[in-house]
Amino acid sequence: MENGKHPSPLQLQLQLRLQQQQLPQPPPLPPHQTPLWKVVVVASIGAGVQFGWALQFSLLTPYVQLLGIPHKWASYIWLCGPISGLVVQPLAGFYSDRCTSKFGRRRPFIAAATALVAVSVILIGFAADLGHLSGDSLDAGAAKPRAITIFVVGFWILDVGNNLLMDPCRAFLADLSDGNQRKTRKASAFFAFFTAVGQVLGYAAGSYSKLHRLLPFTSTQACNVYCANLKTCFLISITLLLILTIIALSTVSEDPISRFSGEKKDKAVPFWGELLSALKEFPRSMWFLLLAMSLNSTAWFGFKMYDTDWVGREVYGGVVGGKLYSSGVSAGSLGLMLMAAVAGVTAVAVMLVVRGVKGGNRVWGCANLLLAVCLAMTVCITKVAETTRQHTVASGGATAPAAGLKAATLSLFAVMGIAQAITYIIPISLASIFCSSFGGGQGLSLGVLNIAGVIPQLVVSLTSGPWDQLFGGGNLPAFVVGAIAAAANGVFLLALFPSPPRTDHDPSSSSVLKITISAPSH
C-alpha cells in the first residue's frame, strides 16, 4: 500500500500469482487404474458368444443339408456372416465410439446385440417345428422350404447380433486397458482364453448326441434326435450368454460422453466419410495388418465352414442323414473341442511368456505356417481314409475308420488350436496399438480390421461351393486354397511385417514388448 491507498485489482492478481509460484506444487494425480477383475468380467462375454459360434460352425452346415439344401449351395448360407460383418461391425465400432447414452458408449450395443442373439437362437432351434406348423412335409427325403426360410432368417439375425456384440466388447476391453500395452495384451489374452472356454463348451455340447435328454421337450414329431440336440445346445448357449452379459453390464460401468462435449462436431461426420478419413490417416503398418488379416481369414474360413462335414464325408465316408455321417460330425465336434482346449492353454501361455519373443508378428507368422501344414495334412488324411475304406469294403469288413485314423484326425484339430489362439490374440492387439499411435478410435479401427477379415470370407462363401463341386463335390479344394493363403501370410509376416511402435508412456514397453503384442474374441 502506498500513500494510504489500497492496491489495485491488477496488483492483487500479480501478488497472488507470485505467492502461488512460491508455494510447492502438488504432485500430479496418478493415472486412472482399471481393476483387473473388470477386464476379466467383460472378457468373459467372449465365452457366451463363442459357445454359440462353436455350435454354428460345428452343427449348422450338416443341419442345413438335413433340411434339404444340397452341399454345393450350403456355403451360400454363410454369406450372411461376411456381409453382416462387413457392415455391422464397423458401424457398431463407429457409433459406439460416439454414443452419448447415459449407460455408456459400449454397454447399450452389447445389451441390444445379446437380445438379437436370443431371438435368433429361438428361430434356428425351432425352425423345423415352425416349418412343420406352416405346412412342411415330415417325409425324411423331402425338402422343407418353410423351415429353411425360418432358419436362414434366424441365421442372419444370429450373425448380425454376434457382429454387433463383438466389436463393442473388444473396444470396451481396449477402453479398460487405458492405452497401456501390457494391459492391452492381458485383456486380449483373457478374451482369447474365454473364447477358448466357450468353444470347448460349445463343441463338447455338439459332440454329445444325447444332450437332448436334458430337455425332453426338444424332441418333437418334426425334430429328430440331431435336431433336438441342436435345439438343446442353442438354448444352453443363450442362457450362458445372458448370464455373462447381465453380470458384466451390471458390475462394470462406463463414463458417458456428454452430448455437449467437444466431440459433437465429430458426430456430424457420416460413417463412410469417417471411414475414408481414417483409411487416409492409417500408417503403413496398419495397411500391412489389414493385408495379413485378409490372408489369415482366407486360410481359416473354408475350414470353419466344412470342418465337421469333412470328417463326416471324407474321413468317415458317410452320407448326409446316415449313421456314419452323424458319427463323423460328432467326432468333428470333439476335434473342435480339443482345438479350443489347446487354444485356451496357448492363450494363457502367450500372456505369460510372449515377452521373450522377438516380435508378435513373428509369432503370428509361425502360427500361419503351422496352419498351412495342418490344412495340407487334411489331404493326406482323406486319401488314407479312402484307401482304407476300399480295402475294408473289398474284404467285407466294417467301413468305420480305424482307430489310428481317428487319432490322427483329432490330433490335427488339436494342433490347429495353437494357430487359432495366436490368431485371436495378435491381430487385435496390433490394431489397438497401431490405432493408438495415430489417435484413431478403438471401435472404428477394430471395425476396419474386421472388414479386412470378412471380405475374404465373402469371396470364400461365394466360390467354395461351386469350386468344391468342380473337383468332385468334396471339401478338400477349399482346404487347399486355405493352406496356400496361410503359407503366403506366414512368409509375409516373417519377412515384411513391421514391428509395433514403442510407447514411451508405457513402462512395460521394453524392446521385448514391442513385439508383444504386439498381441491382442469370431
Domain 34-255+271-516 matching CATH 3.40.640.10: the answer reads: no
Let me know the angle formed at the C-alpha of 424 by 203 and 167, rounded to the nearest 5 degrees: 95
Q: How many other C-beta atoms lie within 10 A of the C-beta of residue 277?
A: 12
What is the SS3 assignment for 176-202? HCCCCHHHHHHHHHHHHHHHHHHHHHH
CA distance 386 to 390: 6
CA distance 125 to 303: 24
Per the model's pLDDT, the better-predicted residue between 158 and 85 turns out to be: 158
Q: How many other C-beta atoms lie within 10 A of the C-beta of residue 254?
A: 18
Let me know: does 60 contact 121? Beta carbons within 8 Å: no
Q: Among 73-77, 191-195, 278-282, which range has the highest average pLDDT?
A: 191-195
Residue range 226-272, pLDDT digits in tens: 788 888 988 999 999 999 999 999 998 887 766 544 444 444 445 56
**pTM of the complete model:** 0.67
Query: Structural domain boundaries of the chain?
Result: 34-255+271-516
CA distance 508 to 513: 7
Cα separation values, 285 from 20, 74, 86, 291, 437, Å: 47, 37, 21, 10, 10
pLDDT number for residue 491: 92
Residue range 491-519, pLDDT digits in tens: 998 888 776 655 444 433 333 223 333 23
Residue range 24-67, pLDDT digits in tens: 444 443 445 678 888 899 999 988 888 887 887 777 777 877 77
How many Cα atoms are found within 13 Å in the side-chain-facing hemisphere of 193?
19
CA distance 296 to 455: 12
Helix (H, G, I), strand (E, B) or coil at 45: helix
Let me know: does 409 contact 501? Beta carbons within 8 Å: no
CA distance 165 to 159: 10
> Does 68 score more than 60 pLDDT?
yes
Q: How many other C-beta atoms lie within 10 A of the C-beta of residue 394?
A: 8
Listed residue (522, 363, 383) closest to 453, CA to CA: 522
